[in-house]
C-alpha cells in the first residue's frame, strides 16, 4: 500500500508580482505516468502550460488525476518561485529551497512508499553499465513536423549478495526529435537550461510533473546521463518515453513475500521473436543471452506494457525465458507551441478574481 507524503514544503514570505507579463513563447505538454506494484500510487496524468518571457517562466500544472491546479511564476533574476495551489494565496520559495526540494526527491519514493521496488537495492552488486544510443530511419509527424526516433538505453545486472541470484534492470529513453529547427522551442529550452544552471540541478527533471520527478529521482544520475546522451543527437524532442523494467523473475525477492508485488502482472516474452522498438529487445536481450523476444508494440509503450498497467488477473504461463516486469513508464508529448505574445496574469490578480467568482 502506498503512503504518500507531501514532497513540497514552502516556508517563506508571500511575494506578488505587480504587473502582467507578455510571454515570448508558450508550450503545452501532456504527461502520462503508468506504474505497477509498489509504485502504483504514482500513476498519474498532467497537462502543463508554460509561458516564457526573458527571465520569467510561468507554468500552470493541471493534475488530471487529483483534479488540482498549481500555478507558478519563476523569476530567474530574483531567483524566486511564487507558487499557488488551487487558487490559494501565493507562497514564495527561493531557488536554494527549490534546489533542496528537487534533490530531496531522490529519497522521497523510498521514504514514503512501502516496497517501491521488488528488489532490495542494498543487496545488489552491480555489473558494469551497458549503454546504447541509437538513431533510426523511422520517422513520424508530430503536429506536422517530421520527427525521427532515437533511443538511449542503459542495462545493468544486479547480483544479490545473499542469494547470488541475478536480474537485469533496463532504463530506456525513446525520443522523437524534430527534423527541423523550431525557434520558439529552442528559446524555451535555453530558458530551462538557464534555470537548471541556477538551481544546480539536472536539466530535464524540473520540467516533469511532481510524481514523474519522484520516479526519475529514484535513479537521478542514470537519467541525467541518458538525457545528456539525447542532447548529443541534436534536435528538439517533441515526444519522449521513459521506462524502467526488471527481468529475470528469480531475483524479484518480494514477488512472493509481498502481495503488492505478487499480484503485479508479468509480461512473459517467448523465445525466437523480436521486441520491436524496445530497448528490452536489443540491449537487454544481449545481456540475457539473446533469449528475449516477442512483440512489445511499435515503441516502448505498447500493447504488452499496456496490459500490465490495466491490470492482469491471470498469471502468465511458466516459461524458460526471463519475465519482464515494467516498473514505470512516463510519456511526455508536446501538444502545442507558439511564439505569439501571451498575456500571463500575475498570481495575485488570478487568485483574487477566482475567489470573487467562488463567492
pLDDT at site 248 = 66
pLDDT digits (tens, 9 = 90+) for 286-317: 333 332 222 222 333 333 333 333 343 445 55
Length of the chain: 359
Distance CA 142, CA 227 (A): 20
pLDDT digits (tens, 9 = 90+) for 130-179: 999 999 999 999 999 999 999 999 999 999 888 888 889 999 999 999 99
Distance CA 251, CA 231 (A): 34
Q: Are 27 and 185 in contact (CB under 8 A)?
A: yes
Give the whole-number percent of the chain exceeding pLDDT 90.
Answer: 50
Terminal Cα distance for the chain, rounded: 39
Backbone phi and psi for residue 218, each to the nearest 5 degrees, phi listed first: -65, -35
Q: 193 has which bridge partners?
A: none
Q: Is residue 245's pLDDT more than 80?
A: yes
Q: Give the model's confidence band at 257: pLDDT under 50 very low, under 70 low, under 90 confident, else very high.
A: low
Q: Which one-letter DSSP state was computed for residue 315?
A: P
Query: For 38, what's the count of Cα atoms within 13 Å in the CB-facing half-sphere?
Result: 21
pLDDT digits (tens, 9 = 90+) for 7-56: 333 322 233 333 344 458 899 999 999 998 889 999 999 999 999 988 88
Q: 46 has which bridge partners?
A: 31, 63
Average pLDDT over residues 101-126: 87
pLDDT digits (tens, 9 = 90+) for 72-96: 999 999 999 999 999 888 899 999 9
Task: Count the Cβ atoms, other than its own, within 10 Å of residue 330.
Answer: 26
Backbone phi and psi for residue 317, each to the nearest 5 degrees, phi listed first: -65, 150
Q: Is residue 259's pLDDT more than 60?
A: yes
* Separation of CA 103 from chain center: 15
Average pLDDT over residues 313-328: 63
3-state secondary structure of 29: strand
Distance CA 297, CA 113 (A): 30
Distance CA 25, CA 248 (A): 46
Going by C-alpha positions, the residue among 275, 287, 205 that lies closest to residue 240 is 205
Mean pLDDT check: name the lowest of 145-154, 215-224, 226-235, 318-327: 318-327
Cβ-based burial of 181 (10 A; exposed 0-12, middle 13-18, buried ≥19): exposed
CB burial of 314-326 (b: ≥16 within 10 Å; e: otherwise) equals eeeeeeebbbbbb
Going by C-alpha positions, the residue among 61, 78, 68 that lies closest to residue 18 is 78
Amino acid at each position: 500500500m502506498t503512503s504518500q507524503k507531501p514532497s513540497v514544503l514552502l516556508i517563506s514570505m508571500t511575494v506578488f508580482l505587480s504587473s502582467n507579463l507578455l510571454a515570448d513563447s508558450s508550450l503545452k505538454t501532456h504527461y502520462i505516468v503508468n506504474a505497477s506494484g509498489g509504485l502504483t500510487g504514482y500513476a498519474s496524468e498532467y497537462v502543463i502550460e508554460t509561458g516564457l518571457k526573458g527571465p520569467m517562466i510561468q507554468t500552470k500544472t493541471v493534475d488530471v488525476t487529483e483534479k488540482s491546479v498549481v500555478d507558478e511564476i519563476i523569476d530567474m533574476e530574483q531567483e524566486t518561485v511564487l507558487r499557488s495551489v488551487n487558487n490559494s494565496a501565493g507562497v514564495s520559495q527561493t531557488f536554494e529551497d527549490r534546489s533542496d526540494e528537487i534533490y530531496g526527491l531522490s529519497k522521497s519514493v523510498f521514504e514514503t512508499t512501502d516496497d517501491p521496488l521488488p528488489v532490495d537495492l542494498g543487496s545488489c552488486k552491480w555489473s558494469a553499465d551497458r549503454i546504447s544510443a541509437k538513431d533510426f530511419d523511422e520517422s513520424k509527424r508530430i503536429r506536422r513536423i517530421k520527427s525521427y526516433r532515437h533511443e538511449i538505453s542503459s542495462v545493468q545486472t544486479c547480483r544479490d549478495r545473499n542469494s547470488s541470484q541475478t536480474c537485469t534492470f533496463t532504463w530506456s529513453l525513446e525520443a522523437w526529435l524534430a527534423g527541423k529547427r523550431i525557434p520558439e522551442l529552442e528559446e524555451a529550452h535555453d530558458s530551462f537550461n538557464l534555470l537548471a544552471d541556477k538551481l544546480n540541478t539536472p536539466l530535464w527533471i524540473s520540467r516533469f510533473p511532481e510524481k514523474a520527478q519522484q520516479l526519475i529521482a529514484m535513479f537521478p544520475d542514470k537519467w541525467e546521463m541518458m538525457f545528456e546522451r539525447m542532447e548529443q543527437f541534436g534536435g528538439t524532442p517533441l515526444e519522449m518515453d521513459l521506462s524502467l523494467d526488471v527481468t529475470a523473475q528469480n531475483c524479484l525477492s518480494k514477488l512472493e513475500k509481498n502481495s503488492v508485488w505478487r499480484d503485479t502482472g508479468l509480461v512473459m516474452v517467448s523465445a525466437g521473436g523480436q521486441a520491436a522498438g524496445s530497448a528490452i529487445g536489443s540491449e537487454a536481450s544481449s545481456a540475457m543471452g539473446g533469449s528475449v523476444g516477442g512483440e512489445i508494440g511499435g515503441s516502448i509503450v505498447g500493447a504488452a506494457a499496456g496490459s500490465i498497467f490495466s491490470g492482469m488477473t491471470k498469471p502468465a504461463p511458466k516459461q524458460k525465458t526471463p519475465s519482464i516486469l515494467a516498473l514505470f513508464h512516463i510519456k511526455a508529448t508536446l501538444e502545442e507551441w507558439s511564439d505569439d505574445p501571451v498575456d500571463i496574469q500575475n498570481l495575485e490578480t488570478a487568485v483574487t478574481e477566482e475567489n470573487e467568482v467562488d463567492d
